[in-house]
Chains A and B, each alone.
Chain A
Amino acid sequence: MAGADGDDSLYPIAVLIDELRNEDVQLRLNSIKKLSTIALALGVERTRTELLPFLTDTIYDEDEVLLALAEQLGNFTMLVGGPEYVHCLLPPLESLATVEETVVRDKAVESLRKISQEHSPVDLEVHFEPLVKRLASGDWFTSRTSACGLFSVCYPRVSSTVKAEIRQHFRTLCSDDTPMVRRAAASKLGEFAKVLELDYVKSDIISLFTALASDEQDSVRLLAVEACVSIATLLPQEDLESLVMPTLRQAAEDKSWRVRYMVADKFSELQKAVGPEITKNDLVPAFQNLLKDCEAEVRAAAANKVKEFCENLPEENREQIIMTHILPCVKELVSDTNQHVKSALASVIMGLSTILGKDNTIEHLLPLFLAQLKDECPEVRLNIISNLDCVNEVIGIRQLSQSLLPAIVELAEDAKWRVRLAIIEYMPLLAGQLGVEFFDEKLNTLCMAWLIDHVYAIREAATCNLMKLVEKFGAEWAQNTIVPKVLGMANDPNYLHRMTTLFCINALSEACGQDITTKQMLPVVLKMSNDQVANVRFNVAKSLQKIGPVLDSNALQTEVKPVLEKLATDTDMDVKYFAQEAISEMLFVVSS
């Protein structure tokens, strides 16, 4: 370590480079992640003349290390001396942009895009643009793939001659003979279109778009659908019909379901991009077809978009279009053979009620909601229940409550605990909408039954649910309906149930307030300190600590403290531990 005793700035590069070469990958990775520290030690000049050439030369390493390097270099501008010198970073990043591993390459491209902004227009043409060209004409597909992501960042800031070259390169890559490159080009087509002058969008981009959209590989064609959104947004309305629509129509009927899926998935964006007229004439029938597609994947994707699509329809004929064209398809989907389709629909269908208004909802949608509430698949039922609020606003929840109840009860008793868990989480919401009377009458028993579920996660969620209910309905309600039942469980022969009492007290004390906690809950907790099961006893200690802040200081001193002190001498190690912990915490509370 020659540098250690000399001037700080004179660290021999060899020592630092040894670190970057360490045999242990993990150490090497750590060093690379602190590359900025090394650069700082070397100073800007030696970073440029010594460190960067070294990095450029030794790019054969684990992908993990390369990824870290690619990321670091994106933030290196200041460390090489500012924008003036930023082009020094290009050689190592260029090598990284040709690596096989996709994540490394993508990161290198990301860093290149970042530092491209720090180049002056002159440097961009002198240093950056030639790099893009080299990548675009590289032998191996990786460099050409990377090039696709760089065109759009330099295009706006170069001269018109260079612009023409860039367009030419992009054109070439769009018809590359490896599908990987065509995919990369197709995925950047929209982004590139955005930075082009409108005339070139019409003359260049449209023909590329059309070609990619009829590529022999469906993986390329489906990416053209994404580009379609950006392109359609850029073009004036009158050109859409002739330049974009033929391709879009073709995509919506593509023989590959993946392409149709993509159309369905992007439907709202497409709809916005092409405007109301084309939506009415073209997209409505296309959407109907997607909702009736033979592949469930496509139907599910389309079903997901039903609400958004309807919302974005032109207002003047919205209702008519929905009622005559969309609703019939939706009705069929309610009894689809595939549960993913049904559940996708169930997650949005309630939203239609706000669009269609009260009468239509009651007449047309309500039967569908009810049917879905009885669906065999719990996910469908859950999705309906989780969106009740939309219907509540339009027609009130009462219309549904008769069907709702059996659905809730069935979910509450589902054999899968995750389903039970999901319905518990909706309880506070449901309680709010159904009102306290309905709740007491129909749902309270369920909520209490969950407390003795045989799965801990359910008991835990049930406890939390009670707390939320108390927050909603108030302490008085708690005192009358749930506190007695909870406290009753303290005498249950099953120690797990006795513990549940403690957990409930932990959760409820704050919401119930000092009075109920001190007068009703505390005695029960204190009594349980004599429980024969150690787990109950140490949970008593924990509970006392937990409810301490709610109690008055008198009760703390006279009742809680003696019990904790006794527990602190318990024979069980854990009980002792938690009692002692509680004591040290509580004293703090008392003294403050």
Chain B
Amino acid sequence: MNHTDVEVLSDCSIRSIMMATGNFLKNRAMSSAATTSPSVDKVDGFSRKSVRKAKQKRSQSSSQFRAQGKPIELTPLPLLKDVPAPEQPELFLKKLQQCCTVFDFIDTLSDLKMKEYKRSTLNELVDYVTVSRGYLTEQAYPEVVKMVSHNIFRTLPPSDSNEFDPEEDEPTLEASWPHLQLVYEFFIRFLESQEFQPSIAKKYIDQKFVLQLLELFDSEDPRERDYLKTVLHRIYGKFLGLRAFIRKQINNIFLRFVYETEHFNGVAELLEILGSIINGFALPLKAEHKQFLVKVLIPLHTVRSLSLFHAQLAYCIVQFLEKDPTLTEPVIRGLLKFWPKTCSQKEVMFLGELEEILDVIEPTQFVKIQEPLFKQISRCVSSPHFQVAERALYYWNNEYIMSLIEENSSVILPIMFSSLYRISKEHWNPAIVALVYNVLKAFMEMNSTLFDELTATYKSDRQREKKKEKEREDLWKKLEDLELKRGLRNDGIIPT
């Protein structure tokens, strides 16, 4: 108990760094945590959730807003609608420039007047880009991008909660949201405007811009991630030249997430965008896309926080399989490879995803994968965790899956039989036993000769297994004796 508490407490500073540095530093950061804060293990580590929640609603702003100190003065400008049309583009630029000023929202009392002025200006700009015509001069593009960049691009602050549990904890909200929201709103309207020309904009909305945009997906504020999703989607749609780059960078984010940090708040949002991107892939699929599926999407299943984005992930996977059924085998093999060993919740998620895949599987693909697949299902069915067993047994309620099983009963029944037979007698949960009886009954009706055969040989099969087990043990014993003997003979030469 003490040990876990230590982690929670020392985490505050270390964890966020680990997120940034990944595995290279994992060990180092841990050991430095141990050496630099010797006090930590003596201290109460209970950060009671109730206590934390009782505090005021947490909100954060990033470094750049603080530390300015001086009051900010903006000279009020006339409203756009109050000046003659020819002067509007000029005034529009001036307003954009004014909106580049960012305010400190952690200090709720500073610059109140100017904050309000900027808010109303942003509101005006939102309306203006939505309804006006002829405002988008070529000079406006760099100014718009500059204003947006100044406001949204910032280093995200360290995460406040060490072990953020999205089901329990409130996310930290962005303090400057009153302005930020309008900036996002404005930018989306700008991108969606009829006058918007990607050919001009691409000079300013470039790779560097996109990279910074993608980093913002790590924001803890779900409202911000939601806007970012729309923004990225629009950019992906309008800038053909950036598409490959965007996909590659998302790749990198995911790989870092899986193999280095296990922390990134925007995975679900990025997957959602990918879902629609995959939907639009042309056939035959490029090697790059297949690689993405096998080397990035499948390993995403290994992440501890899978539950946060599993629905979106499963959607992407199924999208791929609908595009190209020949990918079924590598996908299922991948899932089997990463099958959860200890986390029952995840196991249930895997079973759910597998059912989604089986719903669209082609019979020819099914035959290729049925053996390893049903070996796993047979293990799930006999899981002592009843939710896992139950979830697996529900497959037998799925008509399409049933039809596949029936067609291949001669292969599947022998794989499943011993598990089913055993738990029909041994499982602690009566509901599971009842479900198993139904499954056994279904098998009996499907292929009664095979069923009878298996029942008859059940005992002798078990004995044969035991015998094999014994032989294994003997083999190893012999090998060890041999090692000992040789070890003695060549004393000192053979490492032990």
Contacts and interface: CB of A to CB of B under 8 A. Distances in A.
Q: Are these two chains actual partners, yes or no? A: yes
Select the residue from A27, A257, A261 with max chain B CB neighbours within 10 A. A257
B272 to A, nearest CB: 23
Nearest to A258: B20
Interface in A384-439: 386, 414, 416-419, 422, 425
B430 interface: no
Contacts of A258: 16-17, 20-21, 155
B24 A183 contact: yes
Nearest to B251: A178
Given A37-B483, A419-B43, A180 B252 contact: yes
Interface in B225-269: 252, 255-256, 259-260
A386 B43 CA distance: 11
Contacts of B495: 36, 75, 78-79
Interface of B: 5, 9, 12-13, 16-17, 20-25, 32, 36-39, 42-46, 63-64, 66-67, 155, 157-158, 208, 211, 252, 255-256, 259-260, 295, 299, 337, 375, 471-472, 474-476, 478-480, 482-483, 486, 493-495
A180 B46 contact: no
26 contacts: A4-B478, A8-B482, A36-B483, A40-B479, A40-B483, A40-B486, A78-B495, A100-B299, A102-B259, A183-B260, A184-B24, A218-B20, A258-B17, A258-B21, A258-B155, A261-B16, A297-B13, A297-B17, A301-B13, A382-B42, A382-B43, A386-B39, A418-B44, A419-B44, A422-B42, A422-B44
Given A261-B17, A295-B157, A255 B39 contact: no
A507 to B, nearest CB: 21
A363 interface: no
B43 A4 contact: no
A378 B36 CA distance: 19
Contacts of B12: 297, 300, 340
A100 B211 contact: no
Nearest to B16: A297
A41 B36 CA distance: 49
- In order of increasing CB-CB distance, the 9 nearest A-B pairs are A418-B44, A258-B20, A187-B24, A416-B44, A347-B39, A422-B42, A383-B39, A294-B66, A379-B43
A37 B39 contact: no
Contact of B158 (A62, A295, A414): A295
Contacts of B475: 1, 4, 15, 19
Contacts of A79: 494-495
A296 B44 contact: no
A410 B496 CA distance: 56
Contacts of A155: none
Contacts of A106: 23
Contacts of B17: 222, 258, 261-262, 265, 297
Contact of B259 (A62, A100, A300): A100
A101 interface: yes
Contacts of B16: 258, 261, 297
Given A1-B471, A41-B479, A340-B12, A180 B211 contact: no
Given A78-B494, A179-B252, A257-B157, A425 B23 contact: no
A38 interface: yes
A265 B252 CA distance: 27
A219 interface: yes
Contact of B337 (A19, A62, A216): A62
A517 interface: no
Nearest to B249: A179
Contacts of A256: 155
A199 interface: no
Contacts of B24: 183-184, 187, 223
A261 B493 contact: no
Nearest to A380: B39
A441 interface: no
Interface string A35-48: 01110110000000
Contact of A265 (B36, B43, B259, B472): B36
Interface in A200-230: 216, 218-219, 222-223
A112 B25 CA distance: 20
Contacts of B46: 416, 418
Interface in A164-189: 178-180, 183-184, 187
Given A4-B478, A222-B21, A265-B36, A40 B494 contact: yes
Contacts of A141: 255
A297 B155 contact: no
A346 B471 contact: no
Interface of A: 1, 4, 8, 11, 15, 19, 23, 27, 34, 36-38, 40-41, 62, 75, 78-79, 100-103, 106, 140-141, 178-180, 183-184, 187, 216, 218-219, 222-223, 255-258, 261-262, 265, 294-297, 300-301, 304, 340, 343-344, 346-347, 378-379, 382-383, 386, 414, 416-419, 422, 425
A187 B9 CA distance: 27
Main secondary structure of the interface of A (DSSP, over half): helix
B43 A255 contact: no
Contacts of A416: 44, 46
Given A34-B479, A140-B295, A294-B63, A219 B252 contact: no
Contacts of A180: 252, 255-256, 259-260
Contact of B63 (A34, A101, A257, A386): A257
B55 to A, nearest CB: 12
A212 to B, nearest CB: 13
A231 B494 CA distance: 41
Contacts of B211: 216
Contacts of A178: 252, 255
B476 A257 contact: no
Contacts of A27: 472
Contacts of A344: 37
B158 A297 contact: yes
A100 B20 contact: no
Contacts of A15: 475
A45 B475 CA distance: 21
B42 A425 contact: yes
A257 B155 contact: yes
B39 A296 contact: no
Given A34-B479, A178-B255, A300-B12, 16 more contacts: A1-B471, A4-B478, A41-B483, A75-B495, A180-B256, A184-B24, A257-B155, A258-B20, A297-B12, A344-B37, A347-B39, A379-B39, A379-B44, A383-B39, A417-B44, A418-B45
Contact of B44 (A8, A11, A23, A378): A378
Nearest to B45: A418
Nearest to B487: A40
B477 to A, nearest CB: 11
Contacts of A418: 5, 43-46
A412 to B, nearest CB: 13
Contacts of A417: 44
Nearest to B9: A379
B362 to A, nearest CB: 24
A416 B51 CA distance: 13
A382 B44 CA distance: 10
A40 B5 CA distance: 46
A324 to B, nearest CB: 23
A294 B67 contact: yes
Contacts of B494: 40, 78-79
Contacts of B42: 382, 386, 422, 425
B202 to A, nearest CB: 19
A100 B257 CA distance: 13
Contacts of B259: 100-102, 180
A256 B5 CA distance: 29
Contacts of B64: 255
Contacts of B43: 343, 378-379, 382, 418-419, 422
Contacts of A11: 479
A301 B16 CA distance: 12
A102 B21 CA distance: 13
B155 A38 contact: no
